[in-house]
Structure 1
């Protein structure tokens, strides 16, 4: 849960004295091993402010990998966990450039900063006084952003676009039930019927059960699926209902939609196996990705792809051998090949990769990768070179 900040904490942390104290606290390691000793020393210098100082320094360190320019920001633990990574927020803001936007679940303001760069007017609202006070500090330099306290389920602005990010926890646990989000997704959609709306969702939601009439976009960043976003029909590209967007910290982004071709051949396994980006898989665009890159599926029901070449910038696994999935002959083959470090990928079969690795007991020096999957009714393993 993290430390429970008060309004007095925020006023202190945002003051010159608080800023100086935070700079001093930043010199401490604050690791699990040193935390008690460090807290004791900080408490000696700053009294009751010590817990807020320590929590803020630790949260800022975590935020550095997620939010750009947030070194002076204030957070709560939960707010930081839910905050949109900066590259993802910028991507969404680009789709809304030039419009007025109301973020009805603005929290500590991570989304607002990206919107403020490209939108003429931005409103942020929330019911949490602490998060609103933190947002006011975090976006103090943004003159085109207005903050208000308001219920996300009660429309209170005439902004051209409404965006929302319902909290994904219920009773302290992460939930994939739309009705248990906060605010509940069905209630949120009903509150803004007829409005241009963009709603962040967990990528694990069952999209087929949502009955969404606009576009569902699944976004990944550096190989990890980060979120899904529901775009209402007025914000969706005509003819597109599913989109996968792949963002990278080092390369150019790319996108794929269900309007792209999806005709692929039915052939046996090729020289390579490719595991598509998670955004492609979650968006249901595996065939579209395959068609774009001259690949085909190992099995129509499985997301692994195969082909005789690997798309540029993608990790592929070169097939060395194909076997029926039986552990005893597989163990013998791994031993024969002097297999040591062993990566195991599995899809369509009920296995625990860590438990399987322990049973196979690879003790050699050569790294290999196993791709365990189902082709038809048969469990099959591909022994591959590790890229």
Structure 2
């Protein structure tokens, strides 16, 4: 989106047109809408902006649910925005520690600020990009004076009267469509500035889940978060926002349910043991938080291999922090022999999971030529240098 499109969009005519278009999903519908609107005499800028918003609102449902139908987006802003359900959990932590006014530095299109304002906190939302700040202002307009949006660099904002800050440093190149990741040295604001502020003011710092652990300050709580099986972010909590005695946490959200595993530090992995009746795959947040050992002990499980995140046990128990599978049998790893074995068992529907082996599941599936009425899970891994191919069932 450029300034001309934004100017055309932020008019009564433009906003009414977006609402009338509803949600557009398919490329064919996009082409049809553009042709129809251009034929009606509307300006190219308005047509491009309105149809673009109709498409983005469709994509935004996964993050914002029904709220997406009254919001505006940029493509990059939507991709980088926090899911509203997760933003609400973050906001709850601020509220529960007595915060009443929070500065959202690097607010993007306003996803986290919506979470803060939605539970009654006053928000100062700041973004250095003029178009992004304008869209955030529109999205936060229903909250009136409780949500103020400013276009400025985070480093230049007056934080007097603010109880705590939420920081989401820009980790990609500037732009509203295609962007690429940049190294920590090129983040805006810089990581040094972010950590210095977090050392002086209670803060939540949103980072990518693969953030270099050696750069995590010793005095913060590091919380990795996964949603429906995807590890989406790392949040570093400082000051009063960090919970006493907790330095590592894995928050696992599936649907409407949430479970959290916490510890004072990384935990030691469980001992290696022989393959048992069950195999367990820890959630990505648990792996990132290095709390695999904590989960293993709760399941009376051990590691299949010291360097691979698969657990095994004989007990018929599971946990919200793992996906569990009952092992049927061990099958040959040779592709032709494996294909014959699956054919003999009538398996036509196969989930393929792998860790520690160089296998392309899509290419393997083609080679297996699956046919039959049965279904199963195939687990591909290794113990030391030995390949392990397991036929299993989800539990």
State the shift of 1:120 in Å: 3.8
SS in 1 for 2:64: coil
Distance change in 2, residues 1:18/1:174 (3 Å) = closer
Does the 8 A contact of 2:282 with 2:292 survive in 1? yes
Deviation digits for residues 60-98 of structure 1, max 9, x if unmatched? Answer: 111122114131111111111111001110111111113
Once residues 327 and 317 of structure 2 are traced to their aligned partners in structure 1, the CA distance between those partners, rounded to angstroms, is 12
Structure 2 residue ranges without an equivalent (≥5): none
Q: Aligned Cα RMSD in Å?
A: 2.6
* Deviating more after overlay: 229-238 vs 205-214: 205-214
Does the 8 A contact of 2:106 with 2:167 survive in 1? yes
Residue 121 (str. 1) matches residue 116 (str. 2): no
Poorly superposed stretches of 4+, deviation over 6 Å: 260-263
Does the 8 A contact of 1:196 with 1:234 survive in 2? yes
SS in 1 for 2:156: coil
Does the 8 A contact of 1:374 with 1:380 survive in 2? yes
**Equivalent residues in 2 for 1:321-360, closer than 5 Å:** 321-323=329-331, 325-360=333-368
State the shift of 1:107 in Å: 1.8
Does the 8 A contact of 1:262 with 1:290 survive in 2? no
Once residues 353 and 176 of structure 1 are traced to their aligned partners in structure 2, the CA distance between those partners, rounded to angstroms, is 30
Does the 8 A contact of 1:367 with 1:386 survive in 2? no
**Equivalent residues in 2 for 1:194-213, closer than 5 Å:** 194-213=200-219
Alignment match of 2:224 (pick from 215, 218, 221): 218
SS in 2 for 1:354: helix
Structure 1 residue ranges without an equivalent (≥5): none
Residue 279 (str. 1) matches residue 277 (str. 2): no
Alignment match of 2:308 (pick from 292, 298, 302): 302
Corresponding residue number in structure 1 for 2:32: 37
Deviation digits for residues 29-55 of structure 1, max 9, x if unmatched? Answer: 562123223201112333331111101
**Equivalent residues in 2 for 1:54-65, closer than 5 Å:** 54-65=51-62
Does the 8 A contact of 1:372 with 1:381 survive in 2? yes
Once residues 254 and 394 of structure 2 are traced to their aligned partners in structure 1, the CA distance between those partners, rounded to angstroms, is 22
Once residues 25 and 336 of structure 2 are traced to their aligned partners in structure 1, the CA distance between those partners, rounded to angstroms, is 48
Corresponding residue number in structure 2 for 1:258: 263
Does the 8 A contact of 2:104 with 2:126 survive in 1? yes
**Equivalent residues in 2 for 1:177-188, closer than 5 Å:** 177-188=183-194
TM-score, length-normalised on structure 1? 0.89
Does the 8 A contact of 1:102 with 1:122 survive in 2? yes
State the shift of 1:286 in Å: 1.2
Does the 8 A contact of 2:206 with 2:236 survive in 1? yes
Distance change in 2, residues 1:24/1:228 (3 Å) = same
Corresponding residue number in structure 2 for 1:245: 251
Distance change in 2, residues 1:185/1:215 (3 Å) = same
Corresponding residue number in structure 2 for 1:380: 388
State the shift of 1:268 in Å: 2.3
User: Which one has a larger percent helix, Structure 1 or Structure 2?
Assistant: 2
Corresponding residue number in structure 2 for 1:103: 104
* Deviating more after overlay: 57-66 vs 376-385: 376-385
Distance change in 2, residues 1:206/1:323 (3 Å) = farther
Does the 8 A contact of 2:287 with 2:309 survive in 1? yes
Deviation digits for residues 336-382 of structure 1, max 9, x if unmatched? Answer: 22222222211112222222333333333322221111223322111
Once residues 269 and 80 of structure 2 are traced to their aligned partners in structure 1, the CA distance between those partners, rounded to angstroms, is 38
State the shift of 1:156 in Å: 2.0
Corresponding residue number in structure 2 for 1:230: 236
Q: How many residues are paired up? A: 381
Alignment match of 1:145 (pick from 119, 140, 147): 147
State the shift of 1:385 in Å: 2.8
Corresponding residue number in structure 2 for 1:67: 64
Distance change in 2, residues 1:77/1:11 (3 Å) = same
TM-score, length-normalised on structure 2? 0.87
